[in-house]
Amino acid sequence: MAGPIHYEVYVRRTVPSSWSLLIATEDRKHALETAEDQLSNRLAAAARVTKETLDPETGEFNTLNILTIGAPEEKKKPKAVEGARPACSAPPELYTPHARALISRVLEDWLKRQGVTAFELLHRPDLAERLDASGVELQHAVQKVAVPESQSSGQDLHAVVRHYQRLAEASVARLIKAGQAGLFPSLKNQSIADLAHRLIAAQDRAFIMGGVIADGLADRKGARDRLDCLMAMVEAAPSEGQPRALVLGAVEQIASDILAVRSNLAEILGPSLDHGASLAAVVRMVAPREVERLIQMDPRMALMTPVVEGPAARLGQGLASGYFPKLSTSLARMVTREVASQRRLRPNDPVGEIDILRTLAMALTAAAGRLLTLEEVQNAFVDRSKSLVTPDFVGAYVRQCKTVLSEAEYLTRLCENVTGGANKRAAARWLSACVTSLRLENEMRQTTPGGPSVSQKLLVLARLQRSVRAVQLGEIDEREISIAIGVLGGTLEADAGLLNQIGRAQATTVQKLTALMKMITGETAPLGPAADRARSEAIKMLRIPEIRDAAAIEPALQAMMQAAGLKI
């Protein structure tokens, strides 16, 4: 619900000056007339009127511009940063992870058509020649890099474009020269272990090893086959020392580039897995020990985290052995990015989406501190929770519910699985609207032959109330929803005269007291009017000496009375 509204008038005395507040008023007409008077009387070069609406939840004003008249604002050119220079100045700087990621973005379409990664482009002379010959592709990539860099740093655009054109030409020439000089030996006639031992003394050993491994993938097609080849190279690598680190370093970078492409990940893990199951499989690869411990605690986790096979399983073994620590962190961050995005994990199965999100949350939280910080994991699921409380998702989530009571139970589970204060409040509003609706009251008060009895309905409401108290809603939301459930339970009990039935029942006084105590403690009826009336009836019965003496010798009844706050 919107809060108080007022209007603010801002003016610019001259064209280049900044906006300054003139007046604030609750009269819209007065604000608009004041802005027009400022221009007609030549008191200002421009005027603006904004509508300010107070948000009661955040305490902040939401601004809406409703009028702007006069001279337009001058666009200020960014000031050039003193001593600013392009981000990359020499060909070796293109081989850093950040530069490689940028190349992957600006040449994404070309790399996809060639079926290669940015790492391979930087280490294969034939790919460099092919890109250089394309002309337009390389020119567009240079512009994609130069334009935003020029805007952010204030450097001259043409100078930045010329710089990156020269850098691209120098990088291509360097790579072609290395290929012509035979700097990248083939693995067809020698093992990668022998080559790694020979290269360990070379100055450009990382560059050369990258070219050797990239050349070894030249004949492989498809992400799955290429990853299988990389894992074979890891198995054939030296057993220890710097030679092994040289091979693993190059393999890790290529594997990171391959798995960064969404279509490659789907091909490697298998096309039968949906997006959520693919993320769960990735988590099982990067955090196998944590997932196995969770499966031991809850065997249902095994159904939600697919077992990977083939090259992915071999990669998982390498990740579990600690061969690729940077790749593990990169994959974990990829999972959190996908969780935080708006893409549905299971588009046609809202219930399954909540299940897979819960699985991912448990696994990533268990691995927090080793791969990611706990804050990164929490922020990702807070962002995801925003999409779980939208009308579209909630409507799809409860569409399969056949009864309003079932809808309330589903919404309670939704409240349990969203995180973040604002998201909890939004989910609580959906649940509150359901439990306070006339639909639920009519459904619960309706009696049908062979349907549930009043006692069974009260038992269900008591269970629902306990679930609401366990999902950690805000204090106000929890109290309002619990009270609504309790009032509905009281209405059902009053309609059926359940307490009178207990009083007239052919049962011992101990049995009657036990039934009342279960209602008082919220076990068989929701806390509220029904439980309060049951308390009054129990107190009346305990005033009778014979009943009090009989209750005193029943340990189980005494324990329930103590829990209910009653004394004999």
Rounded to whole angstroms, the Cα distance separating 422 from 60 reads 15
Q: How many CB atoms lie within 10 A of CB 175?
A: 25
Question: Can you spell out the DSSP letters for 37-102?
Answer: HHHHTTS-SEEEEEEEEE-TTT--EEEEEEEEEESPPPPPPPPPPTT---S--SGGGGGSHHHHHH
Q: What is the residue whose two structure tokens read 């294969």?
A: 124
Least confident of 53-62, 279-288, 527-536: 53-62
Least confident of 35-39, 265-269, 311-315, 560-564: 560-564
By percentage, how much of the chain surpasses pLDDT 70? 97
Residue 552 reports pLDDT greater than 80:
no
pLDDT band at 74 (very low <50, low <70, confident <90, very high): confident
Rounded to whole angstroms, the Cα distance separating 256 from 330 reads 7
**Joined tokens for residue 392:** 């579209």
Side-chain half-sphere CA neighbours of 48 within 13 A: 17
DSSP assigned state of 16:
T
Tens-digit pLDDT profile for residues 254-307: 999 999 888 888 888 888 888 899 999 999 888 888 888 999 888 888 888 888
How many residues appear in the chain?
568
**Joined tokens for residue 499:** 């307490």
- The two most distant CA atoms of the chain are separated, in Å, by 108
The predicted pLDDT at position 469 comes to 92
What does residue 196 show for φ and ψ, rounded to 5 degrees? -65, -40
Residue 404 reports pLDDT greater than 90:
yes
> For the residues 199-218, what does the mean pLDDT come to?
89
> For the residues 448-476, what does the mean pLDDT come to?
90
SS (H, E, C) 171-184: HHHHHHHHHHCCCC
The predicted pLDDT at position 350 comes to 92
Closest-CA residue to 418 (of 506, 460, 497, 477): 477
SS (H, E, C) 473-515: CCHHHHHHHHHHHHHHHHHHHHHHCHHHHHHHCCCCHHHHHHH
> For the residues 55-80, what does the mean pLDDT come to?
78
The predicted pLDDT at position 79 comes to 54
Residue 470 reports pLDDT greater than 70:
yes
Higher pLDDT, 504 or 426: 426
Say if residues 243 and 197 touch (Cβ distance below 8 Å): yes
Higher pLDDT, 88 or 107: 107
Q: What is the residue whose two structure tokens read 């006692």?
A: 455
303, exposed or middle or buried, with CB in 10 Å at 0-12, 13-18, 19+?
exposed
The predicted pLDDT at position 533 comes to 92
By percentage, how much of the chain surpasses pLDDT 90? 43
**Joined tokens for residue 463:** 């269970």
Residue 1 reports pLDDT greater than 70:
no
Question: Can you spell out the DSSP letters for 411-439?
Answer: HHHHHHH--SHHHHHHHHHHHHHHHTSHH
DSSP assigned state of 212:
H
Q: What is the residue whose two structure tokens read 């250089």?
A: 132
- Whether the model pTM is above 0.85: no
The predicted pLDDT at position 403 comes to 92
Tens-digit pLDDT profile for residues 472-531: 888 999 999 999 999 999 999 998 898 888 888 888 888 888 888 889 888 889 999 999
Whole-number Cα distances in Å, 475 to 480, 482, 486: 9, 11, 16
Residue 568 reports pLDDT greater than 80:
no
Say if residues 382 and 420 touch (Cβ distance below 8 Å): yes
> For the residues 198-222, what does the mean pLDDT come to?
89
Higher pLDDT, 59 or 28: 28
Helix axes 311-320, 288-297, angle to 10 degrees: 90
Closest-CA residue to 433 (of 480, 371, 387): 480
Rounded to whole angstroms, the Cα distance separating 415 from 59 reads 24
The predicted pLDDT at position 383 comes to 93
Residue 546 reports pLDDT greater than 80:
yes
The predicted pLDDT at position 425 comes to 93
The predicted pLDDT at position 77 comes to 58
Closest-CA residue to 184 (of 244, 120, 127, 123): 123
Strand order in the sheet with 5-12: 20-25, 5-12, 46-54, 61-70
pLDDT band at 391 (very low <50, low <70, confident <90, very high): very high
